[in-house]
Amino acid sequence: MELYFLGTNAGVPTLQRNVTSIALRLLEERRSMWLFDCGEGTQHQILRSPLKMTRLEKIFITHLHGDHIFGLPGLLSSRSAQGATSPVTIYGPKGIKAYIETSLDISQSRVNYSLEVVEHSGGVLFEDDGFRVESALLEHRAESFGYRITEKDRPGNLDLERLESYGLKPGPLYGRLKRGESVQTPDGQEVHAADVLLAPKKGRIVTILGDTRPCANIVPLAKGSDLLVHEATFMHELQDIANEYYHSTALQAAEAASEAGVKELMLTHFSSRYKDTEHLQPLLDEAKQVFPNTRLAEDFGLYPVQR
């Protein structure tokens, strides 16, 4: 599980940073990637990255401002032109379906794969044996959502020493035990999975927020996350402007991370007034005063989610 940032700027792109899009790579977990927001130029960023659009499985849109959705029609159309056939599901606020259908229809774009658009107002959006995705409304000028992605716990590895003590050799019986079944040893002794499985592998939790100013739903949504991605459009000296435009400061993001008890905070969605990494350093410094384990997201930056 890794996050790959395709754009970290707010509002408009600059020569240094594109507008918002984040890929969650789940290559080991489900051989796919999920995209969070798709600002203009996202498909160009993908071309310059190790990401493959054939791996795209789901797109989660936080809100309908242009810097988060203007890249969608082109990306969907190009994916089809490249021969991708696997289905894609898009989740977003009310209006996202009309935007996609109108854009593709008027431009006479063809999508030769199954495309499902799910409009939502929060709650549990997706769940299977491996993952659960839930959403909550934030506080922005447009209806904006945050997403909590929970990887479910997985069975632990087999205890090879215990298996040897039972006289069990590598083969199909190992697979049955791994699936939680019971097996018999060559001498007829019954061995239960619980006898030979190590502790379960704890699933990871990632919370990715859309644009927001401080609000009540942030902490419950992010509670105990291994990684929180939080917008930090301004330094705290501009908190009045941040509040007026429904954005957050780096310090406010750090306060949310501290209150939610997350393990790591990733700042993104920076105002274009902060031209480069040198100008972003003060945002990082003020956030670290409250939450030391904070990092600045960078375009084309790959960040593993630690277990």
3-state SS of 79-113 is HHHCCCCCCEEEEECCCHHHHHHHHHHHCCCCCCC
pLDDT of amino acid 201: 84
State the DSSP code for 197.
B
Domain tally, the chain: 2
pLDDT of amino acid 89: 98
| Residue 192 in marked binding region | no
Let me know whether 92 and 105 are in one domain.
Answer: yes
Let me know whether 107 and 219 are in one domain.
Answer: yes
Let me know whether 16 and 59 are in one domain.
Answer: yes
Residues classed as catalytic: 67
Burial of 242 (0-12, 13-18, 19+ CB in 10 A): buried
Let me know whether 9 and 68 are in one domain.
Answer: yes
Question: Could you count the other beta carbons within 10 Å of the beta carbon of residue 192?
Answer: 12
Scan for tokens 């007026």, then name that residue: 244
Let me know whether 239 and 216 are in one domain.
Answer: yes
User: How far is 254 from 230, CA to CA, in rounded Å?
Assistant: 9
Its pTM stands at: 0.91
pLDDT of amino acid 168: 84
| Residue 276 in marked binding region | no
CA distances (Å), origin 48, targets 16, 44, 78 = 14, 7, 15
CATH number, domain with residue 261: 3.60.15.10
Last residue of a domain, one of 136, 169, 196: 196
Cα torsion 90, 17, 12, 43 to 10°: value is: -40
Let me know whether 33 and 48 are in one domain.
Answer: yes
Let me know whether 218 and 78 are in one domain.
Answer: yes
| pLDDT mean by block of 10 residues, the chain; 307 residues | 98 95 96 98 97 97 98 97 96 98 96 97 96 98 98 86 85 84 86 85 95 98 98 97 98 98 98 90 97 98 93
CB 246 within 8 A of CB 141: yes
Let me know whether 89 and 238 are in one domain.
Answer: yes
Let me know whether 209 and 61 are in one domain.
Answer: yes
| Residue 140 in marked binding region | yes
Cα 240 off chain centre by: 29
Scan for tokens 């502790």, then name that residue: 199
| Residue 68 in marked binding region | yes
User: How far is 5 from 250, CA to CA, in rounded Å?
Assistant: 18
3-state class (DSSP) for residue 233 = coil
Q: Kind and range of the H or E element at 220?
A: helix 218-222
**HEC-encoded secondary structure of 139-192:** CCCCCCEEEEEEECCECCCECHHHHHHCCCCCCHHHHHHHCCCCEECCCCCEEC
pLDDT of amino acid 195: 85
Let me know whether 215 and 173 are in one domain.
Answer: no
User: In b/e form, how buried is each residue of 26-63, taking b as 16+ CB within 10 angstroms?
Assistant: beeeeebbbbbbbbbbbbebbeeeebebebbbbbbbbb
User: How far is 247 from 234, CA to CA, in rounded Å?
Assistant: 8
User: How far is 109 from 232, CA to CA, in rounded Å?
Assistant: 36
Q: Is 234 left (phi over 0), alpha (psi -120 to 50) or beta?
A: beta
Let me know whether 184 and 109 are in one domain.
Answer: no
| Residue 63 in marked binding region | yes
* Token couple for 261: 């008890």
Let me know whether 97 and 49 are in one domain.
Answer: yes
pLDDT of amino acid 138: 98
User: How far is 247 from 79, CA to CA, in rounded Å?
Assistant: 32
CB 151 within 8 A of CB 128: no
CB 110 within 8 A of CB 79: no
Give the domain extent around 235.
2-154+201-304
